[in-house]
């Protein structure tokens, strides 16, 4: 048996980013909500609500990143790595619910538009562009390797674009007196955020149910294992995400004529890590399969292969 334990802790380097991002956005939420209430701007109030949900999301993401660093014990042998997946899912769910409420209110406001202060909207939203851009840049370098960090980056980058849209809406309202533009801008904000959040929601839900991460092609993993010298068949191949930045894999290698020494297992583990980013690899080697193979719905060849029928061990 070979088990690789080259665990990544990329999220650990973002403690300062989380602290700064939460502080900046919380301060901006207070400012934006105050001026939104003062001038009766639904666009500002909506964006303040969304930024508040982002603060909550950043807190969840930070807590999950810290939890994922807790050492495994006898009751949690993988530790708390999945907390980062759960945080990403809750973050996406909160955003979708918040945007649904925003769209509902915007539709009602669109039926009876109210006058607003376009200049104040432009100034406050301009501050939002700066705050959200700075926060997004804090998470930019970690967006490729961690779904949790990527969620934080995408939200902040999207917020910067949304704030820019609010500035445009405020300027048009100021120049042309289009009072209907405020609720319309709110609907556009909701649509943009829902589109950006849908992917995060889908991916986090997929990983919560032990789905194969998008970066891994299961058929290519099986082909790599079957191409190893001495391997006749591969049974019980499972790949799942332990967290938002760490992938695990288990498999049974049927090697009737061969012998898997340390060099063989080290080479196989290294290839899986280098090609697919799988960090936690467990391989069980057997000369004759003695367990019932797990049959996938997309693997008809294994079901029809008479050699796959397991032998009974007395």
pLDDT in tens, 120-167: 778 888 888 898 899 888 887 765 656 777 777 877 787 787 778 778
Measured between alpha carbons, how far is 82 from 247 in angstroms, rounded to an integer?
11
> How many residues can be counted in the chain?
314
Across the beta sheet with 233-241, what order do the strands follow? Answer: 2-3, 278-286, 247-254, 233-241
- Where are any strands of DSSP class E within 218-301? 233-241, 247-254, 278-286
Ranges of the chain whose pLDDT falls below 50: 1-10, 300-314
Q: Which CA distances in Å does 205 have to 67, 68, 172?
A: 19, 18, 40
Domain locations along the chain? 2-208, 218-308
Q: Would residue 231 be called left, alpha or beta, if left means φ above 0 and alpha means ψ between -120 and 50 degrees?
A: beta
2-208: CATH class: mainly alpha
The count of other CB atoms within 10 Å of the CB of residue 297 is: 6
pLDDT in tens, 63-81: 877 877 788 888 887 888 8
* Tokens 């060849």 belong to residue: 301
pLDDT at 271: 94
pLDDT at 297: 54
- Give the predicted TM-score (pTM) of the model: 0.70
Q: In 3-state terms, the chain is what percent helix, strand and coil (to 5)?
A: 65, 10, 25
- Residue 161 burial by Cβ neighbours in a 10 Å radius (0-12, 13-18, 19+): middle
* CATH no. of 218-308: 3.30.70.1350
Instruction: Find residue 252's DSSP bridge partners.
Output: 235, 284
- Sign of the dihedral defined by the CA atoms of residues 180, 186, 190, 196, in that order: positive
CA-nearest of 248, 113, 260 to 187 is 113
Measured between alpha carbons, how far is 224 from 239 in angstroms, rounded to an integer?
14
pLDDT at 186: 76
């Amino acid at each position: 048996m070979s088990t690789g334990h080259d665990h990544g802790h990329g999220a650990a380097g973002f403690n300062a980013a989380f602290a700064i991002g939460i502080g900046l956005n919380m301060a901006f939420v207070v400012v934006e909500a105050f001026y939104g209430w003062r001038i009766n701007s639904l666009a500002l109030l909506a964006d303040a609500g969304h930024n508040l949900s982002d603060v909550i999301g950043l807190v969840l993401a930070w807590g999950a990143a810290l939890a994922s660093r807790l050492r495994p014990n006898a009751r949690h042998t993988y530790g708390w790595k999945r907390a980062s997946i759960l945080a990403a899912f809750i973050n996406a769910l909160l955003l979708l619910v918040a945007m649904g409420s925003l769209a509902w209110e915007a539709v009602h406001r669109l039926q009876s538009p109210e006058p607003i202060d376009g200049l104040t909207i432009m100034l406050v939203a301009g501050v939002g562009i700066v705050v959200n851009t700075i926060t997004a840049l804090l998470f930019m370098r970690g967006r490729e390797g961690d779904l949790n960090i990527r969620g934080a980056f995408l939200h902040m980058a999207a917020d910067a674009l949304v704030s820019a849209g609010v500035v445009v809406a405020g300027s048009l309202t100021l120049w042309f007196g289009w009072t209907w533009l405020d609720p319309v801008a709110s609907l556009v904000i909701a649509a943009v955020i829902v589109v950006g959040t849908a992917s995060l929601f889908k991916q986090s839900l997929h990983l919560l149910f032990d789905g194969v991460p998008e970066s891994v092609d299961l058929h290519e993993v099986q082909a790599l294992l079957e191409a190893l010298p001495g391997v006749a068949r591969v049974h019980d191949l499972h790949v799942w995400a332990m967290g938002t930045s760490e992938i695990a894999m288990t498999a049974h290698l049927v090697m009737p004529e061969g012998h898997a020494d340390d060099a063989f297992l080290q080479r196989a583990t290294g290839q899986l890590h280098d090609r697919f980013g799988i960090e936690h690899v467990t391989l069980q080697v057997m000369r004759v399969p003695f367990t019932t193979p797990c049959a996938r719905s997309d693997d008809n060849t294994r079901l029809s292969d008479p050699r796959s029928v397991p032998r009974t061990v007395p």
